[in-house]
Structure 1
Amino acid sequence: MQPLPRATPDHPTATRQESEGMEPGRRSFLRRLGGLTLAGAAGAIAPGLFSPEAQAAISSAPKRSLAFKSLHTGETLKATYWSNGRYDPHALVDIAHILRDWRADEVGNMDPALYDLLFALRRKLGTDQPFNIISGYRCPKTNAMLASKSDGVAKKSMHMEGKAIDIAVPGRKLTAVRNAALELKLGGVGLYSKSGFVHVDTGRVRQWGS
């Protein structure tokens, strides 16, 4: 996402659907997407990709787990996406599903480095609370629609590449989340106080917003 000063938030709906209650056919279909999701997923952290602090935090953990809550669908998920020295393909698919474009019900090819970013951020914040998802993957059609309505949505958003997520963390101020992400120096960080979220991505290190 390009550095933009303002955003128009998407107001979440409140339907309730637990990930564990997904119908077998859909889960089976998502499992077959595992190869796609794993594309580009390396077994180890690439040197120079993360700051020394972040790399140490990630590398020292024998298991890497994340928790999410979608504010749009009500779905929740807890997943250990890394264990035994490798990414777990089933967990990656499950996370990609909860981060899907909920408007189009389309699952994107997510960057596993984004999960490592969130894992490092979670440890930096010292919290076990789930990440509240405001926006994960966006298909081109959805992004174009949002960009046509708001100057705060980039036409070439990294959300379309599965490399960005807009989040809030229960019990933590947005400024605290923003500051922790900036200290990790893992990518782009945008603060959208009026919209109630922090944007993080795996692009170049930069910051914007208020």
Structure 2
Amino acid sequence: MTNNYYQHNAQTFFDGTVNVDMSSLYESFTRHLAPEALVLDAGCGSGRDSKAFCEMGYQVEAFDASSEMVALARKHTGLVVQQMTFTEVAAQQKYDGIWCCASLLHVPAPELSEVMQKLAQALKPGGIWYVSFKYGDGEREKNGRRFTDMNERSFAALLKNISAIEVVEQWLTQDKRPDRDETWLNAVLRRA
């Protein structure tokens, strides 16, 4: 369902997100990274964040589930963006940082713990991981997309199932897009 939405609305989504200023969120993540760190942009969408991290001097790998989004992200970033899903992540202790901006929220709640464990295993010990979810509790569908919303309580419960991951920082933000009035739960995590 969700991938179908992005396949058919890729250009509209790209146009609506590619120029959003995410610098305050980048700073929360990058202050924990060494220069030239290897970052995975997991569920990269338009490639906006991948491009920004490249411009900051980081090595970046990126993937998205939608072939249409992958094509737009490749063109925007010049990177070899992979088409794959979270369940296909197989790397072990490879990345210094993983960036999951508004992407894990599309994983169905029953699969989220397993997906996050895979991503945790892809992080090097001491690695940093940014995640964001729309603020709420439970699953819902809106305009052809599935969302798993999180609040502080449900996120804490989810993290209990993810081994070796600790919360560095957690905070709420308002949507950065001018036409949106949504609250987001953000977190920076670290692999022990």
TM-score normalised by L of structure 2: 0.32
Q: Give the structure with the larger strand fraction.
A: 2
Q: Which has the higher contact order (CA 8 A, sep 6+)?
A: 1
TM-score normalised by L of structure 1: 0.30
